[in-house]
Amino acid sequence: MNLAPRKGFSLKFQRNTSFFRSSRLKRIGALSSMTAVFLALVTPGIAHAETLDQRQEDSQGVVYSITQTSPAAQTFTSAITGTLNRVDLYLSRLSSAHDMTMEIRSVTADGAPADVLSTYTVPIGSVPAFPGGWVPVALNQAVTAGTQYAIVLHGGDSNPAQWHGAKNNPYLGGGSWRYSTPPAWSGDFAQDLGFKTYATGTGAQTDPSVYFYANTSGAVFPTVTFTAAIYNAGPEVATKSVLYIQLPDTSSVSQVKLNNPESCTYNGATYILCNVGDVAAEGRATLSFQAKITSPGQHTVTAAVYSPTLDANPVNNRSSDTCVADITTAFVSC
């Protein structure tokens, strides 16, 4: 699924940024450069060089093999309008002996890698042997907050290097892509490769979080109501927020009924994805669904919230609850 912003959001953000830049330039013109630098450092909304922006740090679930003819990509949504200075990728080297190439690309309406915006060399000597590690790549690419980009990695020869990542959609601002024969990109929104982006510029400061809990109704074979309570501690609006709910599987949790069908989509199997939209500073949003527990044992459901803004605390963006069913599934406690 493409999480690129609606045009309205993008235009609004650029307008605000231009206004800010214009008023700042007028002030700087009347001040000494030292004073101007000081003001720039203390003005809210300014992010300094190498601010950690987007991240997906789990490298334990999937491995994509990369050669000269089979590149891979991870898309991300920038929270900063300014310059992308550095990208870290979680890589390992097998028998590959030639330097790799990394590109930053725009994406299509479907979120697939599109036009090349800039190209960088990744020295093969900087890629650790298996099990691998973080490889920093310095770069210089203009980015716009709320816009999705692709990090595309090509191998240097026919021997593979590997890009490590994780399942269960740990990053909600993009997904992974593979280039295969016949030449075409195929994406997997629910698998994300290991990456971190660092940028300089302006970006909204937020702290969206979610608390997820389950309640049962009925004494026997109860219906379970799962509720996600989202809160943005601010200080700015968490724009274009999305909620992702990971279900165990259809044999454990079934008969899903959405209470917010205008915002949420159930894929019929393992997840529910909701467009929450803008959550104001100190604002709340609540989304819920009902389901039956249809196999015995423990079943954990996890909710995650994401906004393409500078989130002060990503740790509180995920919350789980567990239901336990007896051997007949007649008695369920959550």
Does residue number 212 form part of the binding site for Ca ion (CB under 5 A)?
no
Q: 85, 169, 197, 309: which one contacts Ca ion (CB under 5 A)? A: 169
How would you class 174 by CB atoms within 10 Å of its CB: exposed for 0-12, middle for 13-18, buried for 19 or more? Answer: buried
Binding of residue 88 to Ca ion (CB under 5 A): no
Looking at residue 129, what DSSP letter applies? B
Stretch that binds Ca ion, among 81-89, 112-120, 158-166, 187-195 (CB under 5 A): 187-195
Instruction: Report the residue closest to Ca ion, judged by CB.
Output: 175
Task: Work out which of 58, 103, 207, 321 binds Ca ion, going by CB under 5 A.
Answer: 207
Whole-angstrom Cα distance, residue 212 to residue 232? 15
Residue ranges in 290-319 that form contacts with Ca ion under rule CB under 5 A: 311, 313, 316-317
Using CB under 5 A, pick the residue from 9, 13, 90, 171 that binds Ca ion: 171
64 binds Ca ion (CB under 5 A): no
Query: Min. distance of Cβ 56 from Ca ion in angstroms?
Result: 8
Q: Residue 219 in contact with residue 294, Cβ under 8 Å?
A: no
Structure tokens at 150: 């692709």
Q: How far is the CB of 212 from Ca ion (least distance, A)?
A: 14
3-class SS letters over 274-299: EEEEEECCCCEEEEEEEEEECCCEEE
CA distance 202 to 238: 15
CB 99 within 8 A of CB 123: yes
| In the complex, minimum distance from the CB of residue 196 to Ca ion, in angstroms, rounded to a whole number | 15
Using alpha carbons, select from 216, 239, 242, 241 the residue that is nearest to residue 227: 216
Pick from 175, 187, 222, 248 the residue near Ca ion by CB under 5 A: 175
Least Å distance between CB 314 and Ca ion? 5
Site for Ca ion in 229-248 (CB under 5 A): none
- What are the backbone angles phi and psi of residue 309, rounded to the nearest 5°? -135, 175
3-state secondary structure of 101: strand
Q: Tell me the window of 40-48, 130-138, 204-212, 287-295 that interacts with Ca ion (CB under 5 A).
A: 204-212
In the chain, which residue ranges form alpha helices assigned H by DSSP? 7-29, 33-42
Q: SS3 for 8?
A: helix
Instruction: Compute the least distance from the CB of residue 325 to Ca ion, in Å.
Output: 30
Tell me how far, at minimum, the Cβ of 174 lies from Ca ion, in Å. 6
Residue numbers at the binding site for Ca ion (CB under 5 A) = 169, 171, 175, 189, 192, 207, 209, 311, 313, 316-317
